[in-house]
Structure 1
Amino acid sequence: MPQPALSLARLSEALGLPEQSLLALVANCDAAADPTRVALTVEEAARRLGVGRTTMYGLVSSGEVSSVMIGRLRRIPAQALSDYIADRAGATVALVA
């Protein structure tokens, strides 16, 4: 026999969370990136860097962040984000010194 659907109010009460907090958690559940992925979509890479999608596309098209084509899909190696940050950190340190 199927279980009746659990309402948001009952679920939030059972978890001890306000309904709004529970909704925010559910809305952001796809934002939790899989740390084992070696190639990211442009949107995933933008989220990891904390920039917008348009900015990320600009970084890719300018060559500041490397990317690869896999079939018809553009992917950004996760290591490319680390390299970009390291390059930027080096440039910042060089300007300060």
Structure 2
Amino acid sequence: MSDNKRLNNYDNLPLVLDVADIRRIMGISRVSAYELVHTPGFPAFRSGRLIKVSKKAFFDWMEKGTETLPKDNK
């Protein structure tokens, strides 16, 4: 699979996602994906040097993130 291709079928995803999977699912850059997995409250864990996320925990986290974001004061 091309590294730039977005993943869009929940059933075809692995049970444990890595940063590249999250990047493809969300359509964000590699840097943004790493910033995301280091965000407090994000359900990531380490497996040796690798950062992993349970598929269920990731989608539960996304579902909880539906609250309204504060407006920028620009």
TM-score class, shorter-chain normalisation, is 0.5 to 0.7
Matched to 2:29, the amino acid is G
Question: Is there any run of 5+ residues in structure 1 with no aligned partner, and where?
Answer: 1-28
Number of residues paired by the alignment? Answer: 65
Q: Which has the higher strand share?
A: 2
Q: Calculate the TM-score normalised by the size of structure 2.
A: 0.64
Q: Give distance in 1, aligned partners of 2:32 and 2:6.
A: 21
Asked if structure 2 preserves the Cα contact closer than 8 Å seen for 1:49 and 1:81, the reply is: no
Larger RCO, structures 1/2 (Cα 8 Å, 6+ apart) = 2
Describe the SS at the equivalent of 2:12.
Answer: coil
Which runs of 4 or more aligned residues in structure 1 lie more than 4 Å from their structure 2 counterparts after TM superposition?
none
Task: Structure 2 unaligned segments of length 5 or more: list them.
Answer: none
Change (3 A) 1:36 1:58: closer
RMSD: 2.6
What is the distance in 2 between the residues matched to 1:71 and 1:86?
28
Percent identity (aligned): 23
Matches of 2:15 and 2:40, distance apart in 1: 19
1:32 shift after superposition? 7.1
Relative to structure 1, the CA distance from residue 32 to residue 52 in structure 2 (aligned partners, 3 Å threshold; closer, same or farther) is: closer
TM superposition score normalised by structure 1 = 0.52
